[in-house]
Amino acid sequence: MTTISKIRYSRRNVLKTGGAALAAAAAFPAPMVWGQESKNITLRQFGTGVSNLNEVATKVKEDLGITLEMTALDTDSVTQRAATQPDSFDIADIEYFVAKKVWPTGNLQAMDASKIKNYDKIVGIFRNGKLTPESSIAQGTAPHTVGFVEGPAGTSFVDNESGWMTLIPTIYNADTLGIRPDLIGRPIESWTELLNPEFKGKASILDISSIGIMDMAMVCEAMGEIQYGDKGNMTKDEIDKTFAIFTEAKKNGQFRAFWKTFDESVNLMASGEVVIQSMWSPAITAVRSRGIDCVYQPLKEGYRSWGGGIGLSASLSGMELDAAYEYINWYLSGWVGGFLMRQGYYSAVPETSKDFMSENEWGYWFEGKESTGDITSPFGDKLAGAGEVRDGGSFYDRMGAVACWNSVMQENQYMVRKWNEFIAA
């Protein structure tokens, strides 16, 4: 989702682990590992900065011998590359709603679920859409609706677990508004607060149309102004009404700025230019690690959620394809999951990640328990002290309260044009 987080981490990483790994690689040629035939294989992966982390490439080289070449791009560029440059990658790490745009291009190939060892342990959200058997499915492009096709050469999505997957889920989270409790000084409980005149000139929303429109919809619905049939698939009329409300707010000076990149959102919040805004989880962490109070505020109307997954290029075959499956199985086997969950994301197979987290970490991040000691990120920053609880609570509290998923609507082109008008208004 972001480019910057990757740059931040990777620089540090290059200095610490990266440099050391490079030195080690030079000193000890190719380690002997169980994936013998894959040791000389290079896979080119691209995706958003969220999960395209150098640590993963270093670790996969160590465990499997596969060289992973990572390219981190922003959300829009990821879509662009997946749709227009099929030969430039082997593995696409994209968001589920992007799959809806990219799949029809034929640039990706379906994956055989029977080759995925931990398939049965993948969270229900990505299989039948239900987190627990009782949960209801949220609006928008829910991952399971674009997760399966009818066969190896399938071109259209099916609504059952057909055994042929478009993407293997890797990382997901529930997003909400970030606030500065020290500058607001009262409880915030609803999405409507984003347009509360109290925060005139101190609010912000993200300038990525496909995600921003969902935040807008959450606000309009919470205000009781619009009843959406499906927030993830609005009618032209609903789109018009949503933009009318936000354009008026913009003209009244409600917004300080709009942000497009991760670091912009961090700076707006940390500098106090903005006290309430759409935000992503690691951005909250980044603000907090500067010693500034910042909360990822759970709201009564629920979360806007997103999920990412790995897709295979249509041109992958033979040994490269086998290596890609091996990489996917490794990805779901726990180390990456633990690495991501310690940053506040969720892994597709949480139970395998448990072995790679301490009991305190697992309790804090997954179970929503009070921490028993300091919680640090995988990069060594202290994120919470003893006795703190994660904003929003446990995995089931958070992912169970998802109101809608990031999505691509049928009226997307219309929406994008309206978005341009909104920005220029």
Partner 1 sequence: MTKQFTAWIQAAPMALVLLAFLVAPIVMIAIVSFWGATEYSIYPAFQFDNYEFLFRSPVTYTVFFNTFKYAAITWAFTLVIGFTVAYFLAFEVRSLKWQIALFLLCTIPFWTSNIIRMISWIPFLGRNGLANSTLISWGVIDEPVEWLLFSDFSVILAFVHLYTLFMVVPIFNSMMRIDRSLIEAARDGGASAWQTLRHVIIPLCKPGIMIGTIFVTTLVMGDFITVRFMSGSQRANVGRLISNDISLLQYPSASATAVVLLVAVLIVIALLLRLVDIRKEL
Q: Compare residues 24 and 423 and give the one whose CB is closer to partner 1.
A: 423
Token pair, residue 304, equals 């806007």
Report in angstroms how near the CB of residue 391 gets to partner 1 at its nearest: 25
How far is Cα 5 from Cα 275, in angstroms, rounded to an integer? 21
- Contact between 329 and partner 1 by CB under 8 A: the answer reads no
- Does residue 255 bind partner 1 (CB under 8 A)? yes
For residue 11 the two structure tokens come to 């620089």
Shortest distance (Å) from residue 83 CB to partner 1: 5
Strand stretches in 251-406, DSSP E: 255-259, 276-278, 295-297, 303-313, 346-347, 375-376, 382-384, 402-405
Coil, helix or strand at residue 223:
helix
| Distance (Å, whole) CA 73 – CA 352 | 28
Instruction: State yes or no: residue 102 binds partner 1 (CB under 8 A).
Output: yes
Among residues 201, 368, 378, 393, the one that binds partner 1 under rule CB under 8 A: 201
Run of H or E including 321:
helix 318-331
> Could you tell me if 383 and 377 are in contact, meaning their C-beta atoms sit under 8 angstroms apart?
yes
With binding defined as CB under 8 A, does residue 260 bind partner 1?
yes
Which position among 11, 16, 42, 84 is part of the footprint of partner 1 (CB under 8 A)?
A: 84
Does 229 contact partner 1 by CB under 8 A?
no
The answer to whether residue 184 forms part of the interface with partner 1 (CB under 8 A) is no
Spatial distance between the Cα atoms of 388 and 85, rounded to a whole number of angstroms: 46
Work out how close the CB of 219 gets to partner 1 at its nearest, in angstroms, rounded to a whole number: 18
Among residues 80, 358, 377, 394, which is the contact residue for partner 1, using CB under 8 A? Answer: 80
101 is an interface residue for partner 1 by CB under 8 A: yes
Q: What minimum distance in Å lies between the beta carbon of 137 and partner 1?
A: 23
Eight-state DSSP code of residue 17: I
Q: Which stretch binds partner 1 (CB under 8 A): 79-87, 184-192, 237-245, 355-363?
A: 79-87
Specify the DSSP class assigned to residue 345: -
User: Segment contacting partner 1 (CB under 8 A): 124-132, 145-153, 255-263, 307-315?
Assistant: 255-263
Size of the site for partner 1 (CB under 8 A): 37
DSSP 3-state of 373: coil
Tell me how far apart the alpha carbons of residues 280 and 289 are, in angstroms, rounded to a whole number.
15
Two structure tokens written together for 359 = 């009991």
What is the footprint of partner 1 within residues 394-413 (CB under 8 A)?
408, 412-413
Binding residue for partner 1, selected from 14, 83, 244, 389, defined by CB under 8 A: 83
Count of CB atoms situated within 10 Å of the CB of 61: 18
256 binds partner 1 (CB under 8 A): yes
Of positions 16, 22, 31, 104, contacts partner 1 by CB under 8 A: 104
Stretch that binds partner 1, among 163-171, 259-267, 291-299, 326-334 (CB under 8 A): 259-267
- Alpha-helix residue ranges (DSSP H) falling in 50-134: 54-64, 75-84, 96-102
Minimum CB separation of residue 423 from partner 1 in Å reads 5
The yes or no reply on residue 207 touching partner 1 (CB under 8 A) is yes
265-324 positions binding partner 1, by CB under 8 A: 267-268, 271-273
Distance (Å, rounded) from C-alpha 23 to C-alpha 123? 39
Nearest to 43 by CA among 308, 307, 331, 306: 331
Whose Cβ is closer to partner 1: residue 40's or residue 84's?
84
The answer to whether 421 touches 242, Cβ cutoff 8 Å, is: no
With beta carbons less than 8 A apart as the criterion, state whether 35 and 326 touch: yes
Does residue 77 belong to the site contacting partner 1 (CB under 8 A)?
yes
Please, what is the minimum distance in Å from the beta carbon of residue 251 to partner 1?
A: 11
Q: State in angstroms the smallest separation of the CB of 415 from partner 1.
A: 10
Does 421 participate in binding partner 1 (rule CB under 8 A)? yes
Residues 215 and 231 sit within 8 Å (Cβ to Cβ) = no
* CA-only gyration radius of the chain, Å: 21
**Complex with partner 1: residue 258 or 339, whichever CB lies closer:** 258
Cβ closest to partner 1, residue 370 vs residue 411: 411
Strand partners, 70: 45
Pick from 168, 43, 96: nearest CA to 404: 96
Q: Where along the sequence are the contacts to partner 1 (CB under 8 A)?
A: 76-77, 79-80, 83-84, 101-102, 104-105, 201, 204, 207, 209, 250, 255-260, 267-268, 271-273, 408, 412-413, 416-417, 419-421, 423-425
